[in-house]
Amino acid sequence: MAELVSGENLIPEHIPGSTIDLVTEFGILWDFIKMPLVVPLLQLAVNICLAMTVMLFIERLYMGVVIILVKLFWKKPEKRYKWEPIREDMEAGNTSFPKVLIQIPMFNEKEVYKISIGAASNLAWPADRLVIQVLDDSTDHNIKDMIEKECERWASKGVNIWYQIRENRGGYKAGALKDGLTHDYVKDCKYVTIFDADFRPEPDFLQRAIPFLEFNPKIALVQARWRFVNSDECLLTRMQEMSLDYHFTVEQEVGSATHAFFGFNGTGGVWRIAAINDAGGWKDRTTVEDMDLAVKSELPSTFKAFRFQQHRWSCGPANLFRKMVLEIIRTKKVTLWKKVYVIYSFFFVRKIIAHMVTFFFFCVVLPITILVPEVEVPAWGAIYIPCIITTLNSVGTPRSFHLLFYWILFENVMSLHRTKATFIGLLDAKRSNEWVVTEKLGDSVKNNRLNSKRNFMPTLKKFKFNFGDRIQFTELGFAAFLFYVGCYDFMYGRNNYFIYIFLQVITFLIIGVGYIGTVVPST
């Protein structure tokens, strides 16, 4: 066995352009540093990964137990909090309805601006008690003109809609939201609802959400769940649905039921404006509550858009953790238990550990241990606990349970980008404040498919292969590394990890050549 795991087996016996002396020298060097240096360092890395795995397992198990108790014994939000429909007062008229501001931040939203403006304008709420504010930071003047004309069209129908632009994009979306609250015509608004440009609220959204705030003064936020209009568009959107459904149906439900911290999702929520002001504006955070509402939105269906979105979602919490952890520790307004919860559970485990352990353990450390069999990885850490965690993660989307194994492989690949973004956020590096708006396709892809079916002779468009957008060299590099490790395990290994590794190679390869998501041709 010693001969099988010697350094000479790590590379082929004959390399073009090399000599047997080079192979021998490499083997001698490997044997010299392996036991005193490589094995202890790798065993330390394994132990750290196992510790992170246990931390994540305990967190997932805790949320699993709580969500079961919530579903079995907790009352629904309408019963847990005071809720009753708001009705028009025969004497006071519409003044019994609080005045609500709808904010729709936009940035070059060519495909979806009509959807969100139309949905907001059709909300069932007294017209004189509703203000719609389109916050347009677009840089394309043609798109700005189209959005402004759409606002004018709804204004001509009696909708109280305002088109607002700024001189610069300072603060990006948060800056636009903050600036929108400074206008005189919103001073008497009690609540503010934020919808991204791809969100499509049902007409009764405010009728269902506002009573929670109106009759419960201590509630600061009503956060709606997201439902996705394009979840069946491609495999990429199905994978995203599985990840996000767990966040909404488990993580946020547990946070609400236990009155713990959880993050505002940036859209699809109704805020009490006084709570925003008390917290110091959009740069700060506060405790919140959620409810069982849903609002339709769009998932990024191109891999490039999804990658940028995941960078922002992973980098942002890590950067916020860096900047606010000392402030959280020092504050006297929060109990010790809630400080521990928000620092350890909310930030450290969910926003940092969850990404790192997936990438380092399953894409780096575990494959390397195949090349160094002196390092032991217990089966409970490599197989059993990860399988339990994965099963717990899948409860949010039971309809996609048959895709669970591919979802694991896909999440392992995406953990590469999330881990990178997490380190950028923790180190406050150059891209930590990068804001790339997620590209939305709206109904354009569906409409193009319908038009192609209607035409017997569809017009052929010249397809331009965008090499920079399609080819991902990092993924291809990991595919090559794991392929070598898989081949080595097939020839010399003991645990048959090559079955999983070759499947992971295929996933890295598929994503590396850009064969995932919706491909939008360029003409």
DSSP string across 387-437: HHHHHHHGGG-GGGGGGHHHHHHHHHHHHHHHHHHHHHHHTT-GGGG---P
Q: Kindly state the average pLDDT of the residues 393-401.
A: 82
Helix (H) or strand (E) holding 490: helix 473-492
Q: How confident is the model at residue 312 (pLDDT cuts 50, 70, 90)?
A: confident
Higher-pLDDT residue of 318 and 446 is 318
Q: Which two tokens stand for residue 183?
A: 């206008």
Residues annotated as catalytic (active site), given as ranges: 137, 290
Q: Are 56 and 354 in contact (CB under 8 A)?
A: yes
Q: How confident is the model at residue 439 (pLDDT cuts 50, 70, 90)?
A: low
| pLDDT the model gives residue 131 | 97
Q: Which two tokens stand for residue 24?
A: 């021998």
Find how far residue 351's CA is from the centre of its chain. 10
Decide the pairing of beta strands 191-194 and 269-272: antiparallel
Q: Are 519 and 463 in contact (CB under 8 A)?
A: no
User: Would the pLDDT of 522 be above 60?
Assistant: no
Q: How confident is the model at residue 269 (pLDDT cuts 50, 70, 90)?
A: very high
Nearest residue to 347 via CA among 277, 268, 260, 271: 260
pTM of the model: 0.81
Alpha carbon distance 160, 184 (integer Å)? 14
Q: How confident is the model at residue 30 (pLDDT cuts 50, 70, 90)?
A: confident
Q: Minimum mean pLDDT among 337-341, 491-495, 519-523: which range?
A: 519-523
| pLDDT the model gives residue 519 | 58
- In the chain, domain spans: 94-299
| pLDDT the model gives residue 42 | 96
Q: Minimum mean pLDDT among 124-128, 324-328, 514-518: which range?
A: 514-518
Does the domain at 94-299 match CATH 3.90.380.10? Answer given as no
| pLDDT the model gives residue 437 | 58
Q: Are 310 and 450 in contact (CB under 8 A)?
A: no
Alpha carbon distance 365, 177 (integer Å)? 43
Residue with tokens 């238990």: 337
| pLDDT the model gives residue 289 | 33
Q: How confident is the model at residue 490 (pLDDT cuts 50, 70, 90)?
A: very high
Alpha carbon distance 112, 46 (integer Å)? 47
Find how far residue 96's CA is from the centre of its chain. 38
